[in-house]
Amino acid sequence: MSKKIYTIIVGTGSYIPKKVIPNDFFLDAEFYDPATNKKFEIPNSEIIRKFFEITNIEERRYAESDQVTSDLATLAAREAFATSGIDPESIEFILVAHNFGDMTYGLVQTDVCPALASRVKTKLGIIKPEVLTNDVIAGCPGWTNAMIIANAYIASGTFKRGLVIGADVLSRVADPYDRDSMIFSDGAGAAIVEAYESDEPIGILSHAFRSDDDHGMLNMGFSVNKDVTTNHQYLKMLGSKVYSYALSTVPGVVKESLDKAGLNLEDISKVLIHQANEKMDEAILSRVFKLYGKAECDKSIMPMTIQRFGNSSTATVPTLLDLVLKDKMKEHEIKNGDIIILASVGAGMTINSIVYKMPN
């Protein structure tokens, strides 16, 4: 068998903000019904209870007031370099997946000029000018989307090594009067990827993706509190529609990625999926099992971080990968030779799924 160039991950890192925001933080919030734009008559304790039942989120993390998204991205990248022992000057490209740029605390305004990838390069102290810096904006699947792009870079022979980061500070784009704001959190995850020549399939084996023209499920909109006079727009989500969309489409994309790799569900050790809603993720996994004729779903292959960290968008999958690889997830491990799935769904609507085999 002739040798082929594959994309492998040689180091991971993550940054989980220190500021813990428990559900009780929202007991004094003023939540408005998006259907009527009036205050809910039920107490916040009941809203929070129902929220927890649906999402299983107990707490989330917020960035410090003096931190912006590129700071979190840089901290995750530094850990990835420390883990791998790789010299930052040796990388040839930086891809930073995010959605709102560097938003200064107290301002609802995106800042993406210059690109966050350029800012991260500077903050890492990388001097070499021959480094491609590029941002990827693709909703929650941003990091997995960026990994697909990185794989194309490497497979083409254009680059041999790069840095792929997913980072977001969603706490600053959440409408404080919208109960859905309790879902969102902040964080960053990073992976260093490089070319690996092998006569056996390794690293990224395949990927599949899908996009649908429905911009109403996740988009920007004005506050549900009509007394708010500013022209600021906030992140809005139609949770029930997102749930239905994900259940009807994500399982098929996951199966497509496995089919492309010539693999079956039994070959998979772990499914690392975007952390948006625990019940939704469990329902997606159950439907994947059903596509393979299995009535019983093995939830043990799907580690979850949403209970503690909430939904940090592009950061959820790389953070989850880093935590499992570093034995920081109870009852979960990824060993040499294991085959895993990295999957996400989010704004767009966009879905992608990557099949990845750990090097031996």
Q: What is the pLDDT of residue 10?
A: 97
Angle at 320 between CA 319 and CA 325, to 5 degrees: 100
Q: What is the pLDDT of residue 326?
A: 96
Regarding pTM above 0.85, the answer is yes
Joined tokens for residue 301: 């292959």
Q: What is the pLDDT of residue 330?
A: 84
Which is nearest to 164 in space by CA: 319, 347, 46, 356?
A: 319
Q: What is the pLDDT of residue 147?
A: 98
What average pLDDT score do residues 37-58 get?
93
CB 174 within 8 A of CB 181: yes
Q: Which domains does the chain have, with CATH numbers?
A: 4-198 (3.40.47.10), 203-357 (3.40.47.10)
* pLDDT per residue as tens digits for the range 88-146: 999 999 999 999 999 888 887 788 899 999 999 999 999 999 999 999 999 899 999 99
Question: Residue written as tokens 């649908």?
Answer: 212
Residue 241 has pLDDT above 90, yes or no: no
Q: What is the pLDDT of residue 301?
A: 94
Q: What is the pLDDT of residue 219?
A: 81
Joined tokens for residue 223: 């506050």
Instruction: Label the pairing between strands 93-97 and 59-62.
Output: unpaired
**How far apart are the C-alpha atoms of 35 and 127, rounded to whole Å?**
52
Q: What is the pLDDT of residue 254?
A: 96
* pLDDT per residue as tens digits for the range 142-196: 999 999 999 999 999 999 999 999 999 999 999 999 999 999 999 999 999 999 9
Q: In the predicted model, what is the mean pLDDT of the chain?
A: 93
Residue 215 has pLDDT above 90, yes or no: no
Residue type, 153: Y
What average pLDDT score do residues 282-293 get?
94
Residue 275 has pLDDT above 90, yes or no: yes
Residue 343 has pLDDT above 90, yes or no: yes
Which is nearest to 143 in space by CA: 112, 102, 186, 97?
A: 97
| Percent of the chain topping pLDDT 90 | 79
CB 275 within 8 A of CB 306: yes
Joined tokens for residue 130: 């021959």
